[in-house]
Amino acid sequence: MLDFVLKRTLQMVLVTFLALTAIFFLVRLAGDPTALFLPPDAPRSQLEEFRHALGFDRPVYVQYTDFVWNAIKGDFGESLSTRQDALSMVLARVPATFQLAFSALGLSLLIAIPIGIVSAYKRNSVFDRIGVAFTVLGQAVPGFWLGLILIYVFAASLHLLPSGGGGSFMHMILPTVTLASYSVARFARFTRSTTLDILGKDYIRTAKASGVSVTRILFRFTLKNSLIPVITLVALDLGALLGGAVIIETVFSWPGIGRLMLESLLRRDFSVVLAGVFFVAVVYSLLNFIADLLYALVNPQIRY
């Protein structure tokens, strides 16, 4: 077990390092940001002085070496636009992003797992066909389009919910539903697939022949044994919710990490973008590591 933990820890470090390296060079393809922070008529000497103060006049490999060394110490520098510590700005947005991501994940599981299990048990029934159509539609509809439709219906037309912002439970409803829509479809489809496979096992047929109730078969035997692949999907999906909610947070003006990173990228605020990528990469790797440990709790055979 110790060897496994050490191996996965090294993998986490490698993934984080590669993610930071990739984004470091990608953000520099956008060009020199110094002109964005000075007046258009600023003299060239002022531009050069400002570029030197930020360190952008040095060779790229020197900038990269300094960046890696500082990142190891947890120092991503200051925001170019606000002059605040970049990592502190990202961490300040963490509660809002976590709140939205975990709410969407909880809603997804609450809806999707029962739909997937019942659809598998009632295979080829009307309920199953409706469930399959729902999963296809949920994965096909773009999140930003669904968000705009929900804003138009529930905020602009019916005036039941706020169109954006944060601070209360009512502000969470529309972005949570929008963010959860894709995950509900994925979880329901995946749960149905794994449940169909388990329902064909010999021990399930034996339980049916022994007169075990349908509810006990589905939610005691079937659900437990179908959790392993679902745990994998949950870990991956939560990471995607944390790092991929950029569009949803922007549509609903949600004060999370995704919106901060998008705004920083448009301003070429490299320090904040790199700090945000670092945080998302670490969280994503940790979630996958936790998922691997949960496998052993759900299925004792994996421990060996």
Does the structure show a pLDDT above 80 at 251? yes
Are residues 39 and 137 both part of a single domain? no
What stretches of the chain show up as alpha helix (H) in DSSP? Answer: 2-27, 44-54, 60-72, 86-121, 126-140, 143-150, 169-199, 202-209, 214-216, 223-225, 227-243, 246-251, 257-266, 270-298
Least confident range from 20-24, 87-91, 282-286, 295-299: namely 295-299
What span, in angstroms and rounded, lies between the C-alpha atoms of 134 and 50?
55
| pLDDT score at 6 | 78
161 and 207 within one domain: yes
Per the structure, the count of domains in the chain is 2
Domain coverage including residue 62:
33-75
DSSP output for 86-120: HHHHHHHHHHHHHHHHHHHHHHHHHHHHHHHHHHH
Determine the pLDDT at residue 262: 83
- The most confident of the ranges 15-29, 94-108, 184-198 is 94-108
Residue 48's pLDDT band, with cuts at 50, 70 and 90, is confident
Do 47 and 184 sit in the same domain of this protein?
no
pLDDT tens digits, one per residue of 256-281: 888 888 888 777 777 888 888 888 87
> One-letter amino acid identity for 55?
G
Buried b (16+ CB within 10 A) or exposed e, 160-184: ebbbbebeeeebbbbbbbbbbbbbb
Mean pLDDT for all residues in the chain: 78
Residue 289 CB partners (closer than 8 Å, separation 6+):
8, 9, 12
Tell me the CA distances in angstroms from 246 to 55, 82, 150, 175, 177, one per residue in order: 29, 21, 17, 11, 15
The mean pLDDT value for 28-51 works out to: 69
* Same domain for 95 and 55: no
Same domain, 244 and 184: yes
Are 61 and 103 contained in the same domain?
Answer: no
| Whether residue 145 is found in the same domain as residue 52 | no
pLDDT tens-digit map of 71-91: 878 788 788 778 888 888 888
Q: Write the CATH number for 182.
A: 1.10.3720.10
**pLDDT of 303 above 60:** no
